[in-house]
């Protein structure tokens, strides 16, 4: 779990407490700060979640590439040659 998710959840919880205290005491400023903290915590949590998703996708892709390199070296070699050829053709066009 990403650190931003944990921090975001803590910020959101603190905002809920602040919002409740502001509502209980009638302090509109504290209540508004609590709502802002809740929103900030939600955003930070969403950012951390996106980072976790990106890490998982990258790990999955890395595992697939590792499998191809170990179990199908000829496919990996031919793919690298093909990619090199395409890049060389693209570079010499201009």
Domain of 35 in residue numbering reads as 3-93
Does the pLDDT of residue 22 top 70, yes or no? yes
| Predicted pLDDT at 64 | 79
CB atoms within 10 A of CB 51: 14
CB atoms within 10 A of CB 37: 20
| Predicted confidence (pLDDT) per residue in 26-41, tens digit | 999 999 999 999 999 9
Does the pLDDT of residue 82 top 70, yes or no? yes
Could you give the number of structural domains in the chain? 1
- Give the C-alpha separation, 23 to 30, whole Å: 8
């Amino acid at each position: 779990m990403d650190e931003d998710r944990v921090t975001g959840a803590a910020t959101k919880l603190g905002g809920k407490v602040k919002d409740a205290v502001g509502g209980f005491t009638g302090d509109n400023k504290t209540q508004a700060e609590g709502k802002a903290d809740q929103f900030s915590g939600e955003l930070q949590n969403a950012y951390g979640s996106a980072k976790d998703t990106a890490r998982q996708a990258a790990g999955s892709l890395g595992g697939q590439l590792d499998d191809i390199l170990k179990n199908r070296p000829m496919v990996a070699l031919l793919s690298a040659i093909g990619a090199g050829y395409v890049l060389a053709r693209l570079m010499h066009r201009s």
